[in-house]
C-alpha cells in the first residue's frame, strides 16, 4: 500500500494584512469604498464580525519588528500577464556565474532588486499608524475569506496613501493602478505565497514557501538545488503548492472536514501545475516523480512543512538538469 502522510487540519485559519499608513485609517469609510463586486459585498457583510477584524494602533506596534525583513513587491498588483509566461532560460546561466543567492535575509524568487524596493521599505518603516486586518475562517471557507481581508486592507491603504504588508507571505504588496479590487478567479500566483531562496551549502540553495499555512496546509521546500536551477527550484515548490491546495479545496467541506488529511507521500508532479499556479496556458510538460517528507518550516508562525525530495540522492545535479529542468518551466513571473 502506498505510504501516506497525515496532515493535521486546524479548526480555523487566518490571513493577516498590516496597513502601514502616514495617517490613521478611517475604518468608517471602508464600507463605502469597497466597491460593488461580489467579493466587496461579501467583505462588507464580514466587517465588524469575528471573521474580519480591524486593529488600529499607533506605531511602534508588536508587528514593527517584522517589517524590516519583509520582501517588497514592485509590480502593480493588477498588472496583466505577459505573453509567453516570461520563461527565462538565461537566468540559470547568470545565477551560476554570479552565485545567484545572497547570505542574510531570504531572497524572493523572481523579484528584481533596486532603489524602488528600498524606497517602499523606508515608507513602511516610517509609517506612524498600523492597522491589522485579520480574516479568520474554517479551512473549507478559504480562500474567499482571505480575499475579503486583502481587499479590505488594500482599500484602507488606498484611502490613506499607505502600504499593505502580507504578514503570512512575508512581503510588502505593491500598489495597483486604480481603485483596489480582487479578481473573482483565485490564483495562488497572485501574490498569495512568498517563495524565498536561501543559501544551503556550497553552491547550493533551498526554496521555501511562506503562506501555505493561511490555508491550513504545511509549507513546502526543496533543498540543495544547484545555483543554476534557482528558477526550477522555485517552480517545483510552486507547482506542488498548487497541487496540494487544489486537492485540499476539493476535499474540504465548508464545515472544516476531518481533523487529519492523509496524502500520498510519493507523487508525480505535473509540470503544468506551475502554469496553473500562474493561470497560464498549459503545455503538456510531463510529470516529475518526487517524494514528500515531513520537515521543519523555515517561515515564522508556521507549524509544519513538507520537503519535496527527488527519487535520486538529494542535491544530485543530474536530477535537476535531466529531470526537473525539463518538466518544470523556468518562469520568473508572468505579470508586469
Please give the CATH topology (third level) of the domain spanning 13-71+115-173.
Alpha-Beta Plaits (3.30.70)
Dihedral (CA of 59, 60, 66, 70) sign: positive
**74 vs 20: which has the higher pLDDT:** 20
pLDDT at 86 over 50: no
* Grid coordinates of 267: 507523487
Q: Is the pLDDT of residue 262 over 70?
A: yes
pLDDT digits (tens, 9 = 90+) for 164-190: 999 999 999 998 777 788 887 899 999
pLDDT at 185: 85
Q: For 268, what's the count of Cα atoms within 13 Å in the CB-facing half-sphere? A: 3
Strand partners, 87: 331
What pLDDT does residue 180 have? 85
* pLDDT for 282: 94
Residues 6+ away with beta carbon under 8 Å from 199? 101, 102, 103, 205, 206
- The reported pTM is 0.88
What cell numbers appear for 293 in the block? 517528507
Average predicted confidence (pLDDT) for the chain: 86
Which has more pLDDT, 333 or 65? 65
pLDDT band at residue 252 under the 50/70/90 scheme: low
Cα 30 versus chain centre, distance: 25
Quote the pLDDT of residue 46. Answer: 96
Say what the pLDDT of residue 108 is: 57
Q: Kindly list the domain boundaries of the chain, sorted by start residue.
A: 4-9+81-111+189-327, 13-71+115-173
Residue 154 pLDDT > 90: yes
Q: Quick one: average pLDDT of 227-249?
A: 96
Q: Residue range 99-127: average pLDDT?
A: 65
> What is the share, in percent, of the chain residues with pLDDT greater than 70?
85
Higher pLDDT, 221 or 25: 221
pLDDT band at 109 (very low <50, low <70, confident <90, very high): low
Torsion on CA atoms 251, 12, 15, 62, rounded to nearest 10:
-160
Least confident of 122-126, 247-251, 299-303: 299-303
Q: What is the pLDDT of residues 268-279, one digit of tens each?
A: 999 999 999 999
Contact 127, 18 (CB under 8 A): no
Helix (H) or strand (E) holding 56: strand 52-58
Amino acid at each position: 500500500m502506498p505510504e501516506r502522510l497525515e496532515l493535521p487540519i486546524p479548526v480555523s485559519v487566518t490571513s493577516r494584512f498590516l496597513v502601514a499608513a502616514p495617517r490613521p485609517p478611517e475604518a468608517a469609510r471602508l464600507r463605502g469604498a469597497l466597491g460593488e463586486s461580489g467579493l466587496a459585498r461579501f467583505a462588507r457583510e464580514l466587517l465588524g464580525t469575528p471573521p474580519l477584524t480591524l486593529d488600529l494602533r499607533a506605531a511602534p506596534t508588536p508587528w514593527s519588528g517584522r517589517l524590516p525583513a519583509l520582501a517588497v513587491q514592485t509590480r502593480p498588483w493588477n498588472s496583466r500577464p505577459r505573453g509567453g509566461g516570461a520563461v527565462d532560460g538565461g537566468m540559470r546561466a547568470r545565477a551560476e556565474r554570479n552565485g545567484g543567492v545572497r547570505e542574510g535575509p531570504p531572497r524572493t524568487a523572481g523579484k528584481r532588486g533596486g532603489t524602488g524596493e528600498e524606497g517602499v521599505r523606508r515608507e513602511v518603516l516610517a509609517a506612524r499608524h498600523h492597522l491589522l486586518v485579520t480574516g479568520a475562517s474554517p479551512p473549507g471557507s478559504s480562500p474567499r475569506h482571505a480575499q475579503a481581508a486583502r481587499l479590505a486592507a488594500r482599500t484602507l491603504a488606498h484611502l490613506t496613501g499607505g502600504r499593505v504588508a502580507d504578514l503570512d507571505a512575508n512581503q510588502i504588496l505593491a500598489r495597483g493602478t486604480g481603485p483596489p479590487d480582487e479578481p473573482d478567479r483565485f490564483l495562488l500566483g497572485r501574490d498569495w505565497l512568498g517563495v524565498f531562496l536561501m543559501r544551503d551549502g556550497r553552491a547550493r540553495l533551498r526554496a521555501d514557501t511562506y503562506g501555505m499555512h493561511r490555508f491550513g496546509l504545511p509549507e513546502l521546500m526543496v533543498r540543495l538545488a544547484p545555483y543554476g536551477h534557482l528558477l526550477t527550484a522555485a517552480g517545483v515548490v510552486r507547482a506542488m503548492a498548487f497541487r496540494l491546495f487544489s486537492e485540499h479545496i476539493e476535499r474540504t467541506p465548508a464545515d472544516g472536514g476531518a481533523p487529519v488529511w492523509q496524502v500520498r507521500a510519493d507523487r508525480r508532479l505535473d509540470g503544468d501545475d506551475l502554469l496553473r499556479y500562474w493561470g497560464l496556458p498549459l503545455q503538456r510538460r510531463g510529470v516529475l516523480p518526487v517524494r514528500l517528507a515531513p520537515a521543519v518550516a523555515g517561515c515564522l508562525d508556521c507549524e509544519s512543512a513538507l520537503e519535496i525530495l527527488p527519487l535520486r540522492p538529494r542535491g544530485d545535479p543530474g536530477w535537476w538538469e535531466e529531470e526537473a529542468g525539463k518538466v518544470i518551466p523556468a518562469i520568473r513571473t508572468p505579470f508586469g
